[in-house]
Amino acid sequence: MPRLAIAPDFPRELSALAPPARGEVMAALPALLSHVPAPEGVGTLRMAEGHLAVVVRQGEVSWLLTLLPDAEAEAYARRHAFSVNPVIGVVEQWDAEALGRVEHALRRSAGQARLFEPVSDTDLLSLGIDLALLPLIRLIGNEADVEALEALLPPTQYLPLSVMARGGSLPEAWKELDSRRTSWDPPEPIDTSDLYAALLRSPDRAVFATTDDELDRIVTAPDWCVFLHPPQHRLARADHYEHPVLVTGGAGTGKTLIALHRAAHLAGHGNGAPSCW
């Protein structure tokens, strides 16, 4: 059965289009619920005159990433790569082209000091660090090198590295990675070839649509109505709580948003069982 997921950049770019092009895209979208005519892997799909969607395809799963003018979309598709974090199973997006340039620059300027020399490959891999990233990590000399990678790496790769670059321990780095999980349950065995399962674990990166109404809501509603950061998702969509839960945070941190999504979740999935919340 075809499965269509939408990334948060797609509705943003759609809303920015001029009305004629936006109308073309809106008219074309419902047909994608049954069939996405795109090749496997990362590619592009004609959505309107002069505009292409960037799409990731794996079997019956199609993930619409963004919507850009033709040349920009083609460049985006060439530049980016995608993977599944082997420890917590969320989807990861890479600027592979830029990372290649950074690795080349680090090799030219590398000194004697290596920031992560005391950390074994086994420990890095236990933090979900991608095996292909290890050669680059071994070239890093200081915290500034790590900070320069923030825009190029998925958060699940960058955050553990940044903790250790500041002198944090492996348990502290793991805690940072663990905060990106969407479930209270212990990590399950991860199939890094399963894009569908990875997208389900990544509510900040993808939401699935199965009907015309769902699709219309996803592409027209504000971000906060649709896409949740992992901690927000974990709090709002938990099956149940054994004890009352207190959510704290400063102004603008999303407390009310969590409460709204929790209420919507209970309304849509309630089965009459008591819930502490």
Range name among 9-13, 40-44, 54-58, 260-264 with the lowest pLDDT average: 260-264
pLDDT of residue 242 exceeding 90: no
Report pLDDT for 232. Answer: 82
Beta partners for residue 81, in sequence order: 94
Say if residues 53 and 37 touch (Cβ distance below 8 Å).
no
Report pLDDT for 277. Answer: 42
pLDDT band at residue 274, thresholds of 50, 70 and 90?
very low
Mean pLDDT in residue range 67-94: 96
Burial of 277 (0-12, 13-18, 19+ CB in 10 A): middle
Report pLDDT for 8. Answer: 97
Cα-based distances in Å from 248 to 58, 172, 222, 259: 39, 21, 24, 12
Report pLDDT for 263. Answer: 84
Report pLDDT for 276. Answer: 42
Residue 15's closest CA among 218, 207, 184?
A: 218
pLDDT of residue 166 exceeding 50: yes
- pLDDT, averaged across the chain: 90
Phi-psi category of residue 249: left, alpha or beta, with phi > 0 → left and psi -120 to 50 → alpha: left
Range name among 112-121, 198-207, 244-253 with the lowest pLDDT average: 244-253
Beta partners for residue 3, in sequence order: 61
Mean pLDDT in residue range 102-117: 81
Gap between the Cα atoms of 113 and 106, Å rounded: 12
Report pLDDT for 270. Answer: 65
pLDDT of residue 237 exceeding 90: no
Report pLDDT for 78. Answer: 95
Report pLDDT for 81. Answer: 93
pLDDT band at residue 271, thresholds of 50, 70 and 90?
low
Mean pLDDT in residue range 132-156: 92
Neighbours of 64 (CB within 10 A): 27
pLDDT of residue 258 exceeding 80: yes
